[in-house]
Structure 1
């Protein structure tokens, strides 16, 4: 969890506090920094705004998954590394399945709606917004479904394993898969940089997965 001093806070849907942390500014600066051409600056700022709104809606999806099951939400936080939804009590594996799944479901819904609307708009600027929103949310949904902690896919994978195995066995399997994912991540990063020219900011936490595999205390 992020312990940063919040930049500001506001009341979101369902009276959920939404906290915006200072490190979010650095995320915006990184995005803008890749666009040295002044003509592309509005698009860089537009992309940053779409990304932040998409992350917010993703986390509000988690919050809705909490509230519909009677799990009180403490806050939703947006920061430089993305966002998270913090609830006030521990949850069961069955509660976690809906809570975690709602984030990617929101992203897929945004992708579907924007993809359907984009061909029918006449404004080039609005068309750009819809196209970027669709592509970005599809990427966020697919990326989040990787079976790696602390991504939604890793948490869903662990929750699903608990349906079929004892908790210790489920945790060890999830940890082992995470270690394999860590080992594959480095060549995948190299390939992404060579082929597409970008680097993944996220890096699977080896120590966390190793701890799960060796000690099964998650």
Structure 2
């Protein structure tokens, strides 16, 4: 979803031959999520978060490859992750490419939650068994959170892109951009008070703030890249 310019500290070969690059800021994000404490539960949590982000981006990659669109790389960094394609795709192809990321998270939430429920209900389970059930529940919650966050109708999140792509089916490209810009502008303006509320209520910190300027320019019919 973003384009960082960091030099990766590690490059791995992922599925379908797509490289997976890990940027330095991704490690910083993991440390922040752990509270800078190397405790077992914290380490497991950040591994589950990192895995969820990676699977989300692999969903985008699969959505491209299955339609014959080559993928340059998948990057994990401080802003989460992004999948970079080798060329621009048509709007119709982009619909599946964009949608597959959130759909992967939604599927993982459903599968992990059902498995956790079944394991928790097992009368013959050991402490380790129930511990696995707990972490599956956490994994499901992480993926549901990623799905909900990514589906917010702001750029450059998947929800904002899907809104604009859906509008392209019924209105002109300029009109689609303007409507998506207006919707995104409203969400962007409400984002800061929402962040404050979330922090006060649950203690969560969001590391992403949508650009008000970008959505304002879109609402005026001026694309900003």
TM score, norm. by length of structure 1:
0.94
Shift of 1:163: 0.7
Partner SS state of residue 150, structure 1: coil
Aligned residue number for residue 26 of structure 2: 24
Partner Cα separation in structure 1 for residue 46 and residue 24 of structure 2:
15
Residue 195 of structure 1 corresponds to 201
Matches within 5 A, 1:167-186: 167-186=173-192
Residue pairs, 1:124-203, within 5 angstroms: 124-203=130-209
Spell out, residue by residue over 1:155-194, the C-alpha distance to the aligned partner (whole angstroms, 9 max, x if none).
Answer: 0001001111110111011111111111111221121122
Task: Name the SS for the 1:6 alignment partner.
Answer: coil
Q: Secondary structure at the match of 1:114?
A: helix
Matches within 5 A, 1:4-43: 4-33=6-35, 41-43=39-41
- Which residue in the other structure is 2:43 paired with? 45
Q: Matches of 1:140 and 1:158 in 2, distance apart?
A: 20
Displacement of 1:70 after TM fit? 0.7
CA RMSD of aligned residues (A): 1.3
Counterpart Cα distance in 1 of 2:36 and 2:26: 16
Question: How far is the alpha carbon of 1:211 from its aligned partner?
Answer: 2.0
Gapped regions of structure 1 (runs ≥ 5):
none
- Tell me what 1:213 maps to: 219
1:34: Cα distance to partner?
A: 6.5
Deviation string for 1:67-112 (max 9, x for gaps)? 0111100000000110000001111111111001000110011111
Aligned partners of 1:187 and 1:34: how far apart in 2? 27
Residue of structure 2 in register with 1:104 after alignment: 102
Which stretches of structure 1, 4 residues or more, deviate above 3 A after TM superposition? Answer: none
Question: TM-score with structure 2 length normalisation?
Answer: 0.91
